[in-house]
């Protein structure tokens, strides 16, 4: 409202400047006209009584009048002037800028004085009319007029501001407030589709904002519902996995016995059955592990990396059997890390198992190398293999649960779990290299402030 008042006042000042100049011009024109009428009286009576002359001049509020009718004839009324003439203004063809300038000079000049004004007589009653008049009444009239204009503009601006304020409130503030209210209401229960805003504003921009908000809220509500459904599904899968694992473990016990059978065909089939069931148990266990929304945060202790790597290699060696796969380790002597040994084992076991499985799938000989580098800020552990490299499908969703798996019988969880565990340590699991000559995964563990 204050701003509107200021702007309207500014506009009024812009109007005031030319109008005060116009007022002054009209005032002087008016005097010229009155003087002309007074001087015409002289036309009627050749000789004029000095008292009447003075009376005529007083009525016209001028000291002198000269009405030039043609080159020779001219009429003159005169009375004594109190001061000498301090300026002459020609109103016959005035430029607006000069009128404005003169008006302001007039306002600024507080001195009482006499000015000469020249103009064209009305009704072509002569070629020129000239008067002398006092400045003080002119200046006072101008000040009066100015004050009236100022008061008027103040009233106009307050009324305009008030109307504008009402309009703004009705057309902008109310709709915006209603949008904000909707947002707050929606935020209380975003899954409730009934709380999604229904665009109703009349102002285009606000309506557009409402429509955008409606789209956003609709998408968010849908996403939340989807998430809820997925969470329920996840729980159901966890429960199924749990019970399935128990059933399969029992089955495993029976297959162990079947393996001892004397029947050659049963003996031949038994290992396949065992490995299938083992894979199924593994799938159930990994699903269960992943289902626990998040891995527990690591319990950091001083851990000997060499020991963990030995454990990993040992367990993998068992799985290799007779396959021509070499294990090489290169760990700085006595290197100790700050990590959760159980979780670090799972990370390295997953990476090494993947490498082993990849090489075994090719049926060719290969080498798996586990190395560690002690950098100033991080510990870097690399698992390198000479396998066939990652298939494109695995590369696309590498660390995404259930999606990165490209191996027959794999669940696509190993890398997702390993990466989550490393992240729990504040570190990063990265694929450093993969091509036909092999693959390198790097685990980067930050040392933190270095205190154990
Ligand atoms: N060293 C590697 N060389 C070649 N391919 C690899 C290697 N490591 C992983 N992969 C590929 O990436 C996929 C994803 O591995 P990830 O460990 O996440 O799942 P998985 O091994 O299939 O199943 P899981 O580990 O859960 O039993 C694998 O299926 C495999 O195709
Ligand atoms: Mg794996």
Range of the domain at 395: 301-446
CATH code at 421? Answer: 3.30.565.10
Q: Which of 269, 291, 313 is the last residue before a domain boundary?
A: 291
Whether 230 maps to a domain, the answer reads yes
Q: What is the pLDDT of residue 221?
A: 93
**pTM for the structure as a whole:** 0.49
Into how many domains does the chain fold?
3
Within the chain, how many helices (H) and strands (E) appear?
11, 12
Please report the atom of ligand 1 found closest to the CA of residue 387.
Answer: 3
Contact partners, residue 235, CB within 8 Å, separation at least 6: 291
Residue 269 sits in the same domain as residue 327: no
Q: What is the pLDDT of residue 209?
A: 93
Residue 127 sits in the same domain as residue 11: yes
Q: What is the pLDDT of residue 50?
A: 80
Q: Ligand 2 centre and the CA of 273: distance in Å?
A: 21
Whether 239 maps to a domain, the answer reads yes
Whether 181 maps to a domain, the answer reads no
Q: What is the mean pLDDT of each run of 10 residues along the chain (452 residues)?
A: 81 87 93 86 72 83 85 75 87 89 90 90 82 92 92 86 88 90 93 90 89 95 89 79 77 79 84 83 79 72 93 86 92 92 91 94 94 94 95 86 69 84 93 95 87 52
Q: Ligand 1 centre and the CA of 411: distance in Å?
A: 9
Whether 362 maps to a domain, the answer reads yes
Q: How far apart are the first and last CA of the chain?
A: 65
Q: Ligand 1 centre and the CA of 323: distance in Å?
A: 19
Q: What is the pLDDT of residue 428?
A: 95
Whether 437 maps to a domain, the answer reads yes
Q: Which of 350, 369, 405, 435 maximizes ligand 1 atoms within 8 Å of its Cβ, making it the mutation to test the pocket?
A: 405
Q: Ligand 2 centre and the CA of 350: distance in Å?
A: 6
Whether 93 maps to a domain, the answer reads yes
Whether 184 maps to a domain, the answer reads no
Residue 324 sits in the same domain as residue 278: no
Contact partners, residue 12, CB within 8 Å, separation at least 6: 149, 150, 153, 156, 157
Contact partners, residue 112, CB within 8 Å, separation at least 6: 83, 134, 135, 136
Please report the atom of ligand 1 found closest to the CA of residue 388.
Answer: 4
By the 8 A CB rule, do 79 and 52 touch? Answer: no
Q: Which residues line ligand 1 (CB under 6 A)?
A: 286, 350, 354-355, 358, 385, 387, 389-391, 394, 404-407, 410-416, 439
Whether 178 maps to a domain, the answer reads no
Residue 210 sits in the same domain as residue 268: yes
């Amino acid at each position: 409202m204050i701003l509107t008042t200021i702007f309207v006042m500014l506009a009024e000042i812009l109007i005031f400047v030319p109008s005060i100049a116009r007022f002054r011009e009209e005032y002087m024109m008016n005097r010229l006209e009155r003087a002309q009428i007074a001087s015409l009286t002289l036309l009627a009576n050749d000789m004029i009584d000095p008292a009447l002359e003075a009376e005529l001049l007083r009525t016209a509020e001028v000291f002198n009048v000269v009405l030039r009718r043609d080159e020779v004839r001219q009429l003159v009324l005169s009375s004594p002037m109190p001061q000498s003439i301090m300026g002459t203004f020609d109103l016959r063809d005035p430029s607006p800028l000069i009128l404005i300038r003169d008006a302001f000079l007039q306002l600024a000049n507080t001195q009482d004085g006499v000015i000469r004004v020249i103009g064209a007589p009305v009704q072509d009653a002569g070629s020129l009319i000239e008067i002398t008049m006092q400045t003080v009444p002119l200046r006072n009239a101008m000040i009066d007029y100015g004050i009236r204009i100022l008061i008027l503009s103040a009233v106009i601006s307050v009324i305009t501001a008030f109307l504008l304020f009402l309009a703004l409130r009705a057309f902008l503030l109310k709709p915006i407030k209603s949008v904000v209210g909707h947002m707050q209401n929606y935020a209380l229960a975003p899954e409730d589709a009934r709380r999604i805003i229904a665009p109703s504003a009349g102002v285009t921009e606000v309506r557009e904002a409402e429509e955008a908000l409606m789209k956003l809220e609709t998408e968010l509500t849908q996403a939340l519902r989807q998430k809820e459904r997925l969470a329920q599904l996840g729980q159901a899968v966890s429960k199924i996995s749990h019970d399935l694992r128990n059933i399969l473990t029992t089955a495993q016990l029976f297959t162990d016995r079947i393996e001892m059978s004397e029947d050659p065909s049963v003996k031949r089939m038994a290992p396949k059955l065992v490995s299938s069931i083992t894979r199924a148990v593994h799938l159930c266990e990994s699903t269960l592990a992943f289902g626990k929304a998040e891995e527990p945060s690591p319990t950091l202790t001083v851990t000997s990396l060499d020991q963990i790597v030995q454990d990993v290699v040992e367990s993998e060696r068992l799985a290799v059997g007779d396959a021509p796969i070499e294990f090489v380790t290169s760990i700085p002597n006595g290197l100790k890390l700050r990590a959760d040994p159980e979780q670090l084992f799972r990370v390295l076991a997953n990476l090494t198992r993947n490498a082993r499985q990849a090489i075994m799938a090719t049926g060719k000989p290969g080498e798996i190398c586990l190395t560690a580098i002690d950098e100033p800020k991080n510990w870097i552990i690399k698992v390198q293999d000479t396998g066939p490299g990652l298939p494109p499908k695995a590369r696309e969703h590498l660390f995404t649960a259930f999606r990165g798996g490209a191996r027959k019988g794999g669940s696509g969880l190993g890398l997702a779990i390993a990466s989550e565990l490393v992240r729990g340590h504040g570190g990063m699991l990265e694929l450093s290299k993969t091509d036909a000559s092999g693959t390198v995964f790097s685990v980067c563990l930050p040392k933190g402030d270095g205190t154990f």
